[in-house]
């Protein structure tokens, strides 16, 4: 997110490497993330469909211009005991759900649209995602980055097979798998970045 913002009209930035950076609107990104992570943890499509409306409602409240007090009140009104019970969500989780979407960083993130900043980039860009990324699902995300960077003359978009959100060699890409992988970053990710940079900026 920050790389494109820092690169706009900045002559000190020579290139950008976007490593699982957002390209789609954040609402779509977060819903894709929720479903991908949920399925990797064994949740059924039916279960994810059932909780989608309440998640969308909480996201909309978080992304709104309401004050924190008003937004918290709206979220609490949305999370009635009856609604939580009908969705199979323990009522004891209500406060944690509200705190999650009321976090100041999350509220900024919920309102952020990456496309305007990307459209203004005019330096070489390498955008990479792992094919097993469950946090920034690659297909739609990389397509959105490609579309936003249509005005840039040097753009490389690469999906790296078998890598997760942290660019580790993964089995499922599930978040719970991160701690079990000893690899810091897959060699293919490092070489993809290094080769791309060295091709454009050879050492003298």
Q: Which helix (H) or strand (E) holds 28?
A: helix 26-40
Return the biggest CA–CA distance within the chain.
68
Q: How many residues does the chain have?
A: 204
User: What does the pLDDT read at residue 171?
Assistant: 93
How far apart CA 185 and CA 193 sit, in angstroms, is 12
HSE toward the beta carbon, residue 169, CA cutoff 13 A: 6
182: its two tokens: 């000893």
pLDDT along the chain (204 residues), means of 10: 93 96 93 91 88 91 95 93 88 92 94 95 97 95 97 97 97 92 97 96 81
Determine whether 81 is exposed, middle or buried from the number of CB atoms within 10 Å of its CB (0-12, 13-18, 19+): exposed
Statement: the pTM of the whole predicted model exceeds 0.85: yes
CA distance 23 to 138: 10
């Amino acid at each position: 997110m920050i790389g494109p913002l820092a690169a706009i009209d900045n002559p000190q930035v020579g290139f950008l490497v976007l490593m699982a950076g957002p390209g789609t609107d954040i609402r779509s990104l977060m819903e894709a993330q929720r479903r991908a992570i949920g399925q990797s943890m064994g949740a059924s499509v039916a279960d994810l469909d059932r909780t989608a409306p309440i998640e969308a409602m909480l996201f909309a409240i978080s992304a709104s211009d309401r004050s924190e007090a008003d937004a918290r009140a709206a979220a609490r009104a949305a999370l009635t005991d009856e609604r939580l019970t009908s969705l199979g969500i323990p009522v004891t989780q209500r406060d944690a759900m509200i705190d999650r979407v009321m976090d100041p960083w999350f509220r900024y993130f919920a309102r952020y649209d990456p496309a305007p900043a990307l459209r203004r980039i005019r330096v070489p860009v390498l955008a990479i995602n792992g094919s097993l990324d469950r946090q920034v699902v690659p297909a739609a995300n990389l397509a959105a980055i490609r579309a936003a960077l249509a005005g840039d003359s040097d753009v490389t978009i690469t999906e790296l097979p078998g890598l997760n959100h942290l660019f580790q060699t993964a089995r499922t890409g599930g978040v719970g798998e991160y701690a079990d992988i000893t690899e810091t970053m897959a060699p293919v990710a490092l070489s993809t970045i290094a080769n791309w940079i060295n091709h454009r900026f050879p050492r003298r």
